[in-house]
Amino acid sequence: MTAVTLSKLLNKANKYNYAIAGLVVLGWEDALAFVEAAEQTKIPIILQAGPSCRAHTPIPVLGKMFRHLADQTKIPICCHIDHSYTLKECKEGIDSGFTSVMYDGSKLSLKENIKITSKIAKITKSYNVSLEGEVGLVGYHKGINSEGTTLFEAKKFSNESGIDAMAISVGNTHLQTSKIAKIDYNKIKQIEKLSNIPLVLHGSSGISYNLRKKIARNTKVAKFNIGTELRMIAGESLKDNIKKNKKTFDRLQLIKPTVKNITKATIKVIQNIGPKK
């Protein structure tokens, strides 16, 4: 199936009260596992190429890889650039076949964030590509602190930036290895009253399964970004394979078995927040 836009997936998710997982890709193996999980469950997913992924593999290569995987399945797959910080990065993603891009201007002033995001929105619309923006800084575990999204920021940004999806900061944190996030559920409900576009929660590995499901079923949050949770599964699986096969030097033989474990964990993630059976 041809890759689909973020808007197509998230608008449908909002309509039927579920959410889609934005799955953070680092390489071929996890991308393959994510798509296999989508096929087994018949649930759409978003393949995401974040900064660390793009630093390791060129965007044009990632674009071809993502589109190849999307073309091999009948399940809708969105090919998404996550956390781009310049118009140039967004444009390269569009030119490389991505169906969605995120411009992250959350570290800028609200005025500057809207100015740059709206400029990028004009470009994405001309290419029929979706645009995700962020207002209110989502921080990092043991790193920069979060700056929660205010109601004023949410309303103004959603109305003036031209985005198709809005990432918000309500207690979520990137790179969280434990499910201890204290999400301001009431703030989500307040924000959704001010905006009619789908909402996004980055750093969702830190949110418990029960809370993710509650948010997916009862709010306009239509996208949960999941990276660390599945990256931990991949890393532990790889370490186990190395311990069990100390004489094996072929890295492909060591990495390939991780796909099965990543797939199993991904199925649990996407079923939890996905369409009701």
The distance of Cα 114 from the centroid of its chain, to the nearest Å, equals 21
Q: Cα(2)–Cα(72) distance, rounded to whole angstroms?
A: 9
Q: Cα(207)–Cα(260) distance, rounded to whole angstroms?
A: 24
CB 135 within 8 A of CB 166: yes
Give the 3-state secondary structure of 30-75: HHHHHHHHHHHHCCCEEEEECHHHHHHCCHHHHHHHHHHHHHCCCC
For residue 135, the cross-strand partners are 168
CB 104 within 8 A of CB 113: no
Place of tokens 């099965």: 260
The amino acid occupying position 80 is H
CB 204 within 8 A of CB 173: no
For residue 49, the cross-strand partners are 25, 81
82 belongs to the catalytic site: yes
30, 82, 104, 164: the catalytic one is: 82
Backbone angles phi, psi at 78, to 5 degrees: -100, 135
- The token pair at 87 is 């118009």
Which residues carry out catalysis? Answer: 82
